[in-house]
């Protein structure tokens, strides 16, 4: 497992993160990392966000774009400034979309090629919408 | 699709796929190679087709084809797929005779 | 270069963007061919660039934003048809054009050629916001309240590679009209917008959750009067709710119409309002300056009508009854008395609805240049509209169309058949639709017969995905597969527009020939028993389907 850094922000190393689930978070108020399922609302994190420094969002398959809305909501509605990470099935072709929705890091497997991610991140110099990350 | 276990004596199974580069329809024929013309498709029994399908699927990526599946056809030269959809795939769109792939057999339905 | 009439003139950043998008797609093709991308991964990526794998080859669907083309672009489409396809293209019910015989390896080169004329295939498929459709009489019709195309362009740009809405549960179709007579079937779209002017700037009536397909639903009003400033915020909010809550477990339950139906329009509206309440609206504001900047990139036609245009036209009509018939069926009132809106029928009897050869495209491009400010509009009924034609020049225009074999006088009549490509070309289809369209077109091809029958829409789909909009036809036909054979269900009484309704199935499906005969008997019954001035649809509404069912099945 390795991380690809989309935003060039300071990130939490892969081996250090041990996210709890939303349900577990309520039992472990000291936790700083939480993993959200695609059907869980980011609003539920509100009481805990002050101490959270990592939110991990999940793609069951790359076509399931709910994490884009979750990430953007965290930034826009909850004013969350710390790291957002995505796991699961994501494609390098989604790099710029992830970045523009406020995602910082992508979990890749060790044999994934990072050059494709780097290329995709730089591909578009022109966009037609303002975004939360711009 | 017609079930492979209910073939009549004058029917057989062909294997078909689409070519990755141009999307064109291909038929599996001699030596497990893929051909443009249904006339070159190998007629298989239901039993033969199961093993051939497995082999063809395993080789598909290397042979530059995708979506391999079996088609029931009436035996003949060329063999004639039974369903309208496969008939169109074998012989071309019915509304553009100028684009037909092959002369259709007499008994075309 | 002069700015085009009727659509947005690209600036250098738009062209750079297209090049970046093409480079991305070229890279995706390379990764597919190398095996780095599986077909499962590549498919949604190629679809978002309009590339399907169809029955005989790859198919390329080129976007025609809000249906507007200029002559230069149509010539480029002719070039693509000639060089990379088989000399023709097919105009669809979504104001796009499809090429049926494309090789994947040629696709990047085709996209580069299209980009030379500021065209692309972006978001013509896939689970994203699709090409924005609009009113084919926009900016020309006498009854229009406001030209919707500036806002259609704003929506096109807003939806292009939107970072949050490119992997939606399912496709998302937006249509916009500025006419009181909803000419875009707003209630049959995921979002339909009806624009109108007000003292404080444009207002938008927003419909949500309409659509045809497997589960035909008439859209419901989400908001009555969204101000221009809040248009983008409202769309963002609606899409956010859909992206978060639309179903993803079942392909056939994933459209927004199912979400709206499941939770109800009131709770859906509350959810959209809750999003809006959380948003900083100033951030999403569509400013008058932004609208003005986009509007400045649209050229208006410089109209110079001649004084005696009506007299000249009347004289031509008197001298040539064939022309008079064409004027009767194929022209529509323009806001300028000296001009007409002319519709070019792509439904020549016996031909395939919507098919146009490369020669015809080049010919039409010339005609548009000569008579209509080089502007053409592709309609959702698979025809082409020339928005601004001087009345005194209609005769010369018509003669030009006759030479191209595109002068069928049948707009809105029985021969103006809408049809999907069906089983001959489409992998989803259960039955062929084009042979039936040709048979019906030939059967009712006689211009006098069509005139006698009057307003009639016939819509044919080869499967329940309903690309031929069969639910919305006065007579709808749905192809079904029964144990490997093709059969056709007949529906009666559908319509789009302000009184949108979904056609009712008449009875058991029939064979192709029986379906043609049954429709002929239905129309004969109408002709024999209609009240004075009563249209086919009015008679169906008055009597219900029972008497038509009786004649349809009488000899079967």
CATH number of domain containing C539: 3.30.413.10
Sequence-separated (6 or more) residues with CB below 8 Å from residue B22: C57, C58, C103, C104, C105
Same domain? For C55 and C160 the reply is: no
Q: Which residues of chain C have pLDDT under 70?
A: 1, 556
> What pLDDT shows up at residue B2?
56
DSSP string spanning C144-209?
Answer: -SS-THHHHHHHHHHHTT-SSSSS-SS-B-EEEE-STT-TT-GGGSSEEEEEE--TTS-EEEEEES
Show the domain range for C430: 418-552
pLDDT per residue as tens digits for the range C214-231: 889 999 999 999 999 999
List the domain boundaries for chain A.
2-123
Where do we find the tokens 């086919």? C536
Number of H helices and E strands in chain B, helices first, is 2, 5
The token pair that represents A73 in the structure block: 């909501």
Q: Which of C295, C324, C355 delimits the end of a domain? A: C295
Q: Which of C403, C438, C466 delimits the end of a domain? A: C403
Q: Evaluate whether C537 touches C527 at the Cβ level (below 8 Å).
A: no
Q: Could you say which of C56, C438, C486 has the minimum Cβ distance to residue B25? A: C56
> What pLDDT shows up at residue B108?
41
Q: Could you say which of C86, C423, C484 has the minimum Cβ distance to residue B99? A: C86
pLDDT per residue as tens digits for the range C121-153: 999 999 999 999 999 999 999 999 999 999 999
DSSP string spanning C502-529?
Answer: -PEE-SS-B-HHHHHHHHHHHHHHHHHH
* Rounded Cα gap, residues C121 and C65, in angstroms: 10
Q: Is residue C2 one of the residues assigned to a domain?
A: no
Question: Touching check for B99 and chain C: CB below 8 Å?
Answer: yes
Where do we find the tokens 């007629």? B43
CATH topology of domain A2-123: TIM Barrel (3.20.20)
Residue C92 has what DSSP assignment? -
Domain count, chain C: 4
Question: Touching check for C435 and chain B: CB below 8 Å?
Answer: yes
Where do we find the tokens 């991308």? C37
Question: Touching check for B20 and chain C: CB below 8 Å?
Answer: yes
> What pLDDT shows up at residue C225?
98
> In this prediction, what percent of chain C has a pLDDT beyond 70?
100
Q: Do chains B and A touch (3 or more CB pairs under 8 A)?
A: no
> What pLDDT shows up at residue C181?
86
- Taking the alpha carbons at both ends of chain B, their separation in whole angstroms is 17
* Rounded Cα gap, residues B76 and B103, in angstroms: 13
Same domain? For C144 and C258 the reply is: yes
Contact A64 C248 (CB under 8 A): yes
Where do we find the tokens 């002559």? C71
Strand-strand pairing, A20-21 and C133-134: unpaired
Cβ contacts of C23 on chain A, cutoff 8 Å? 123
Contact A93 C24 (CB under 8 A): yes
Q: Which residues of chain B have pLDDT under 50?
A: 1, 107-109
* Rounded Cα gap, residues C535 and C209, in angstroms: 30
Same domain? For C376 and C472 the reply is: no
Same domain? For C547 and C424 the reply is: yes
Q: Evaluate whether C351 touches C360 at the Cβ level (below 8 Å).
A: no
Same domain? For C518 and C540 the reply is: yes
Q: Could you say which of C57, C432, C486 has the minimum Cβ distance to residue B23? A: C57
Q: Is residue C236 one of the residues assigned to a domain?
A: yes
> What pLDDT shows up at residue C510?
97
Q: Which of C266, C295, C324 delimits the end of a domain? A: C295
Same domain? For C198 and C283 the reply is: yes
* Rounded Cα gap, residues C121 and C110, in angstroms: 10
* Rounded Cα gap, residues A61 and A88, in angstroms: 7
> What pLDDT shows up at residue B106?
52
**Of C416, C456, C453, the residue nearest C437 (C-alpha):** C416
* Rounded Cα gap, residues A108 and C335, in angstroms: 60
* Rounded Cα gap, residues C225 and C227, in angstroms: 6
Q: Evaluate whether C191 touches C238 at the Cβ level (below 8 Å).
A: yes
Give φ, ψ of C69 to 5 degrees: -125, 150
Q: Could you give the 3-state DSSP secondary structure of residue B69?
A: strand
Question: What's the number of CA atoms in the CB half-sphere (13 Å) around residue A30?
Answer: 0
Order the strands of the C58-62 sheet from edge to edge.
Answer: C51-53, C58-62, C97-102, C88-91, C355-357
Cβ contacts of A118 on chain C, cutoff 8 Å? none
Residue C46: give its domain's CATH number.
3.90.480.20
Q: Is residue C471 one of the residues assigned to a domain?
A: yes
Between the CA of residue C370 and those of A22, C283, C359, C376, C393, what are the distances in Å? 67, 45, 17, 12, 10
* Rounded Cα gap, residues C153 and C95, in angstroms: 15
**Of C106, C64, C242, C224, the residue nearest C170 (C-alpha):** C242
Same domain? For C290 and C327 the reply is: no
**Of A92, A80, A84, the residue nearest A122 (C-alpha):** A92
pLDDT per residue as tens digits for the range A13-45: 988 888 999 999 988 978 999 999 999 999 999
Q: Do chains B and C touch (3 or more CB pairs under 8 A)?
A: yes
> What pLDDT shows up at residue A134?
56
Cβ contacts of A91 on chain C, cutoff 8 Å? 37, 41, 45
CB atoms within 10 A of CB B98: 8
Between the CA of residue C64 and those of C10, C23, C380, what are the distances in Å? 14, 21, 11
Same domain? For C465 and C388 the reply is: no
């Amino acid at each position: 497992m390795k991380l690809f850094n989309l935003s060039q922000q300071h990130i939490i190393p892969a081996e250090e993160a041990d996210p709890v689930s939303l349900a577990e978070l309520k039992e472990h108020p000291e936790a700083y990392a939480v993993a959200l399922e695609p059907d869980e609302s980011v609003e539920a994190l509100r009481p805990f966000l002050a101490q959270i420094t990592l939110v991990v969002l999940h793609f069951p398959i790359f076509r399931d774009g709910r994490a884009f809305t979750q990430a953007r909501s965290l930034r826009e509605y909850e004013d969350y400034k710390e790291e957002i990470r995505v796991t699961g099935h994501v494609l390098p072709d989604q790099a710029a979309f992830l970045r523009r929705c406020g995602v910082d890091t992508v979990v890749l497997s060790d044999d994934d090629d990072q050059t494709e991610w780097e290329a995709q991140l730089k591909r578009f110099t022109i966009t037609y919408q303002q975004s939360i990350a711009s | 699709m017609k079930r492979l276990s209910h073939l009549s004596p004058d029917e057989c199974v062909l294997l078909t796929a689409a070519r990755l580069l141009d999307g064109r329809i291909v038929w599996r024929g001699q030596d497990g190679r893929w051909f443009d013309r249904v006339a070159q498709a190998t007629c298989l029994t239901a039993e033969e087709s199961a093993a051939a399908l497995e082999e063809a699927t395993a080789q598909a990526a290397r042979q530059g084809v995708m979506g391999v599946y079996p088609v029931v056809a009436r035996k003949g030269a060329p063999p004639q797929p039974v369903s309208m959809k496969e008939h169109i795939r074998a012989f071309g769109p019915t509304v553009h005779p100028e684009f037909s792939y092959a002369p259709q057999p007499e008994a075309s339905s | 270069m002069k700015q085009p009439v009727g659509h947005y003139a690209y600036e250098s950043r738009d062209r750079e963007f297209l090049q970046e998008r093409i480079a991305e797609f070229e890279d995706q093709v390379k990764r597919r061919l190398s095996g780095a991308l599986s077909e499962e991964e590549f498919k949604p990526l190629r679809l978002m660039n309009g590339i399907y794998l169809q029955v005989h080859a790859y198919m390329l669907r080129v976007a025609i934003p809000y249906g507007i083309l200029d002559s230069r672009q149509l010539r480029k489409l002719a070039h693509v048809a000639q060089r990379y396809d088989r000399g023709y293209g097919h105009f669809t019910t979504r104001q796009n054009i499809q090429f049926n015989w494309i090789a994947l390896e040629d696709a990047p080169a085709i996209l580069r050629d299209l980009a030379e004329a500021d065209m692309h295939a972006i978001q013509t498929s896939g689970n994203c916001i699709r090409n924005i459709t609009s009113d084919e009489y926009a900016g020309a019709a006498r009854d229009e309240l406001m030209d919707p195309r500036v806002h259609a362009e704003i929506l096109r740009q807003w939806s292009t590679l939107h970072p949050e809405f490119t992997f939606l549960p399912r496709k998302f179709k937006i249509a916009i009209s500025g006419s009181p007579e909803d000419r875009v079937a707003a209630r049959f779209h995921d979002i339909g917008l009806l624009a109108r002017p007000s003292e404080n700037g444009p207002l938008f009536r927003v419909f949500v959750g309409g659509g045809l397909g497997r589960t035909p639903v008439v859209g419901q009003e989400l908001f009555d009067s969204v101000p221009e400033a809040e248009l983008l915020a409202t769309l963002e909010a609606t899409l956010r709710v859909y992206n978060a809550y639309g179903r993803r477990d079942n392909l056939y339950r994933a459209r927004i119409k199912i979400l709206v139906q499941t939770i109800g329009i009131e709770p859906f509206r509350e959810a959209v309002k809750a999003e809006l309440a959380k948003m900083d609206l100033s951030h999403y504001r569509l400013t008058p300056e932004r609208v003005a900047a986009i509007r400045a990139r649209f050229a208006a036609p410089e109209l110079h009508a001649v004084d005696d245009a009506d007299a000249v036209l009347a004289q031509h009509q008197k001298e040539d009854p064939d022309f008079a018939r064409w004027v009767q069926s194929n022209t529509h009132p323009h806001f300028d008395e000296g001009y007409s809106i002319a519709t070019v029928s792509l439904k020549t009897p016996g031909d395939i609805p919507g098919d146009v050869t490369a020669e015809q495209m080049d010919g039409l491009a010339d005609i548009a240049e000569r008579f209509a400010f080089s502007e053409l509009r592709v309609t959702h009924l698979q025809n082409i509209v020339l928005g601004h034609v001087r009345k005194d020049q209609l005769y010369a225009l018509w003669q030009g169309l006759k030479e191209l074999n595109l002068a069928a006088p049948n707009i809105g009549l029985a021969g103006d058949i809408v049809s999907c490509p069906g089983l001959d070309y489409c992998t989803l289809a259960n039955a062929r639709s084009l042979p039936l369209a040709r048979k019906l077109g030939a059967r009712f091809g006689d211009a006098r017969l069509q005139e006698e029958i009057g307003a009639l829409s016939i819509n044919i789909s080869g499967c329940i995905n309903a690309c031929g909009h069969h639910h919305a036809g006065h007579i709808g036909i749905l192809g079904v597969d029964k144990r490997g054979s093709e059969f056709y269900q007949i529906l009666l009484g559908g319509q789009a527009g302000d009184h949108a309704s979904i056609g009712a199935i008449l009875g058991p499906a029939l064979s192709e020939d029986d379906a043609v005969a049954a429709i002929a008997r239905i129309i004969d019954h109408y002709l024999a028993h209609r009240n004075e001035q009563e249209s086919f649809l009015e008679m169906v509404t008055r009597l219900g389907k029972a008497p038509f069912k009786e004649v349809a099945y009488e000899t079967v």
